[in-house]
Structure 1
Amino acid sequence: MSTEIVRLLTRMAETWNAGDAAGYAGLFTEDADYITFFGLHMKGRQAIEESHRELFKLPIKLDSGGGQPLIRPLSDDVALVISGGSSSVDGEHDPGRESVITLTALRTSEGWRFASFQNTRVSRP
């Protein structure tokens, strides 16, 4: 389970950095819930693809790293995933863009997919 989910996270970064909106959205279930760091809630693979098609026109890339994700199996077919994330704009790392991402991974007939995504900016109190 963990290896397959780590591969899914890797594909998420690869499709993001390639600007592949269809490939990125394909990592999610048809009815996925996707919540951005500023609170926009998108419902479904099509909405994820459409919004990311526009987003990928910007010079935002995901940085590598973020440490090992926490993968907590909830059943044989469901896992909670918590991962760090950060991004760069025009090749410059921006510490203000560091995030904690919480996902629900679900084993489907297509293989493992994300059924939910929540991106929260890291802030200092």
Structure 2
Amino acid sequence: MTTTAHARVVDTLTGLEECWQAGDAEAYARLHAADATYVAFDGTVLTGRAEIAAGHRPLFDGIMRGSRLAVVERTIRFPDPATAIVVQRAGIVMRWQRGRATPSKKRLSTNTTILRLDGDAWLVAAFQNTRYHPWAKTLMGRLMTRSAG
């Protein structure tokens, strides 16, 4: 894939982060395809720009007001010239955590974002967000995977 396509995908991802920090649900939704599917960390499914905006508006006006998205790591690949698949570890830094550069462990997620080229714009076609809780690091996971001595 061209460096231009890569840069434009990163521009869209940066735009999402900027809209989030600004608390602008409508601008955030406009970076998604008209028929985008958005799966939040709790399993809520939003379909289309109107639902994505409506789902984010109360968050941006409430608990997520003044928060920002912080990306810890990101990979981008292009299975074809009009599709980008982004897998990233990221999370929310809350407004009261201003000095924090990275999200706390409880807010860390792994998400997959599929972007499609729509005319001149790379738009989010699908998004899936999952809280990052590796089973092997949980108490139960450690107990069940430890070696018998």
TM-score of the alignment, normalized to the shorter chain, above 0.5: yes
Instruction: Flag the structure with larger Rg.
Output: 2
Where structure 2 has 5 or more consecutive residues not aligned to the other structure, the ranges are: 98-102, 136-149
Equivalent pairs counted in the alignment come to 124
How many percent of aligned residue pairs carry the same amino acid? 31
1:59·1:90 contact (CA, 8 Å) conserved in 2?
no
Of Structure 1 and Structure 2, the greater helix share is in 2
RCO greater where, 1 or 2, for CA within 8 Å and sep 6 or more?
A: 1
2:86·2:112 contact (CA, 8 Å) conserved in 1?
yes
In 1, distance between residues paired with 2:77 and 2:18?
23
Tell me which residue corresponds to 2:124: 114
User: Deviation at 1:36?
Assistant: 0.3
> Match for 2:91: what amino acid?
S
Q: 1:19-39 CA deviation, whole Å, 9 max, x = no partner?
A: 001110011000000000010
> Match for 1:109: what amino acid?
G
In 2, distance between residues paired with 1:78 and 1:85?
21
Q: Which runs of 4+ in 1 moved over 3 A?
A: none
Which of the numbers 76, 85, 88 marks the counterpart of 1:71? 76
> Within the alignment, does 1:31 sit opposite 2:35 as a pair?
yes
Matches within 5 A, 1:1-125: 1-60=5-64, 61-67=67-73, 69-92=74-97, 93-109=103-119, 111-125=121-135
Q: Secondary structure at the match of 2:72?
A: coil
> Match for 1:117: what amino acid?
F
User: Deviation at 1:95?
Assistant: 1.9
Where structure 1 has 5 or more consecutive residues not aligned to the other structure, the ranges are: none
In 2, distance between residues paired with 1:43 and 1:27?
13
